[in-house]
Every structure is written in C-alpha cells, then in structure tokens.
C-alpha cells in the first residue's frame, strides 16, 4: 500500500515495487493520475484523503479483503504550504502563517501518517509480520527557513517512527523512515533554474536526487535484506545539510 502515488516519488515507488513483482495498491486524491499509475503497474487505485480516518479505514479493509494480507505500507502522501512564521517590515507585522495552512499540513503529513498506520497495523499483528516506511524529509532533521508547518509535520513523523518501532517490534513489524533531500520531481522541475542550480551547488554529490534513488531506498527497507533494521531515519540526500 502506497499513499500519494499518483506522481513524483510515490509514483516512482509504485513502479519500482511492481518491477519486483509486488502487488501494489495505491491511493491519492488525484483520481486521473492515480488510475493511470495503477493501470501501468497492474495494481489497484483508491481515491483517499489520508487526513480522513474513515476513508483510510475503508481502503485498508478493501485491500485486506482482496488480498488476505497487508505486508508493506509506504506513508508517502504529503503537502506543502510554505511561509514565514511572521513577516515584519519596518518593525511592523505585515503577515503571518495562516492557521488553516498550518493545520492542513499537519493533518495530511502527520495525522495522515498516523491514520494509515493505525488502519493497517492490526492486520500486520494478526499475520505476525509487516513493514511500515514513513516519508519524512531532511528538513525534519535540520529545519528549514519558511517551513514551520512542514518541518513540524516531518519531525513528528520521525518521532512516531521511533515510537512505533519500539511498540510493534514484538509483533515482527518493522517501522522506518526515509528522509529525501532535493529530489527532481515534476513539482521541483517547475522551479526557476537558479533555484535548481542552488540546490545542486549545496549537495556534495553534485546532483539532485532522482525519484528512483528514493524508491530504491524504500525497496531496500521493505525487503528481507533489511530484516534487522527498525526505528531508523535513512537520509537519501546526496550529503546535503540544509542551511549550509
């Protein structure tokens, strides 16, 4: 099960897992894109808002009813609503991050991850096996200018990952997180050329990540080769430290 798989990293993860023979079940709010990806990989698509518990629960139950088990959950879905905590000009407050934009990012990125994990974990406990991999970000580790809401959500995901690894290890359910660096998704490709050049110049390996780089990391952590790895946040970032 992969959330937010209609495009970008989520799509790359879905394609990569399908290449390895996995039965891939994806969700997204983008019905057209999600349906196209599902057709390409021979999997299933459900339109799901991960911030809505009932929708998530119905999706998990449908997947389990169709396949009899849930082996891997990739919590990839996320949104951005960047902005400064406060903006001041000439000593006067002129703007601040809207409460609704803070709430939206927390609801999707943090609560959405919680909702999906809580929906699938009972099935994994029953089968005495499972893997959950959560999407965080390097900014969840390093912080980043203008991203109070996003950083808070991604730092929270790292914390939940550590807690779940400890709580669920007794059931042979592993929980890890991936922290991508600057990755050349469709959204990033639309950024100004100077911004892209800056990202590359701050990355020691001298290039931006490709969605496949991130997908390969997800594949490794989901595999039996990572059977003794749980509770970690794996940076896949070309060596960058945000803000330097």
Instruction: Tell me which residues are annotated as active site.
Output: 150
Query: Which pair of tokens denotes residue 89?
Result: 């000009």
- Taking Cα atoms as reference points, which of 214, 117, 102, 113 lies closest to residue 150? 102
Give the number of other Cβ atoms within 10 Å of residue 162's Cβ.
16
- Count CB neighbours of 202 within 10 A: 16
Q: Note whether 215 and 232 are within 8 A (CB).
A: no
Residues 165/175, Cβ–Cβ less than 8 Å: yes
C-alpha angle with apex 176: 181 to 152, nearest 5 degrees?
A: 55
Q: What is the DSSP letter of 108?
A: I
Helix then strand count (H, E) for the chain reads 10, 9
């Amino acid at each position: 099960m992969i959330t937010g798989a209609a495009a970008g990293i989520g799509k790359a993860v879905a394609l990569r897992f399908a290449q390895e023979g996995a039965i891939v079940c994806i969700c997204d709010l983008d019905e057209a894109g999600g349906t196209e990806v599902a057709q390409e990989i021979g999997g299933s698509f459900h339109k799901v808002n991960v911030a809505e518990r009932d929708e998530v629960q119905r999706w998990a139950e449908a997947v389990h009813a169709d396949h009899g088990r849930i082996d891997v959950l990739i919590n990839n879905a996320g949104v951005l609503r960047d902005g400064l905590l406060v903006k001041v000009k000439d000593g006067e407050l002129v703007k601040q991050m809207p409460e609704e934009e803070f709430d939206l990012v927390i609801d999707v990125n943090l609560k959405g991850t919680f909702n999906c994990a809580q929906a699938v974990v009972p099935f994994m406990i029953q089968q005495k096996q499972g893997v959950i991999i959560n999407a965080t970000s390097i900014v969840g580790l390093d912080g980043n200018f203008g991203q109070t809401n996003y950083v808070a959500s991604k730092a929270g995901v790292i914390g939940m990952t550590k807690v779940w690894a400890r709580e669920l290890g007794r059931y042979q359910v592993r929980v890890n997180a991936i922290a991508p660096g600057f990755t050349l998704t469709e959204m990033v490709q639309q950024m100004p050329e100077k911004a892209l050049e800056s990202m590359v110049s701050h990355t020691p390996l001298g290039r931006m990540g490709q969605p496949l780089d991130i997908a390969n990391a997800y594949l490794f952590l989901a595999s039996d080769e990572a059977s003794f790895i749980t509770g970690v946040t794996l940076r896949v970032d070309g060596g960058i430290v945000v803000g330097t």
